[in-house]
Amino acid sequence: MSLEALRPSPLVEQAAQRLRDQITGGHWPVGTKLPGETTLAKTLGVGRSTVREAVRALAGAGLVQPRQGSGVFVIATEPAEDWPARLRRAAVADVYEVRMMVEVQAARLAAERRTEADAAALRAALDGRRDAWSGGDNAAFVDADIALHAAVVDAAHNPVLADLFAEFVPALRQGLIELVELLGLHDRDPVHGEARHAELVAAVVGGDGEAASRTLQAELESTLRELLER
């Protein structure tokens, strides 16, 4: 594989792609020092600033690493996969296990930090979950269930926890809808999880962190077992 002069058009993207091809194609193995900016700019037919931006893009993808005073070195031959993409590719049960670890501790914090506004939001979300279940729409029920759990996480008042929980939702939603349908839960359980979710809300609102985490742990473990047995 040889480098060729580039066509005018988004040059940074073209330069980054051409350099990426050299790396992923094995022309520059891990540990190799890239040619200098001047050499790359001349070979590719672009300015040094374009090369600099292209290298920055490769660094962001986890392929190269600039080292002060030494140059730019190849550190991987495949781009790093971002977190949302990794979650989309993961098994639902695997994502659920991690969600459980995060959310159980969030429930404990929520019981310590909830405000009156949080308490009102939790009660409203519990009512919404109940209404969605009686409505018979599986997707609407899963969305309402997730909304209740999100309200618990929000009551912990930790934006990192809230953002992390939000990242799990797209990876979990369809799998949970399919689980409800597969198990025929509307036929076999007319009040699916109502009592335990009511206990969870009561524990958080009442400031009982131990009860909140214990109740949520039991609820999530029950669903995880169903996912693993599918």
| pLDDT tens per residue across all 230 residues of the chain | 566 655 544 788 899 999 999 998 889 999 999 999 999 999 999 999 999 999 998 888 888 999 988 899 999 888 766 666 666 666 778 888 888 899 999 999 999 999 999 999 999 999 999 999 888 888 999 999 999 999 999 999 999 999 989 888 888 888 888 888 877 766 666 566 889 999 999 999 999 999 999 999 999 998 888 877 76
Residue 66: strand pairing partners? 72
Classify residue 79 by burial, with Cβ atoms within 10 Å: 0-12, 13-18, 19+: middle
First to last CA, the chain: 47
- How high is the pLDDT of residue 192? 65
H helix or E strand, kind and range, residue 138: helix 138-154
- How high is the pLDDT of residue 8? 46
Confirm if 10 and 50 have CB atoms less than 8 A apart. Answer: no
Confirm if 77 and 63 have CB atoms less than 8 A apart. Answer: yes
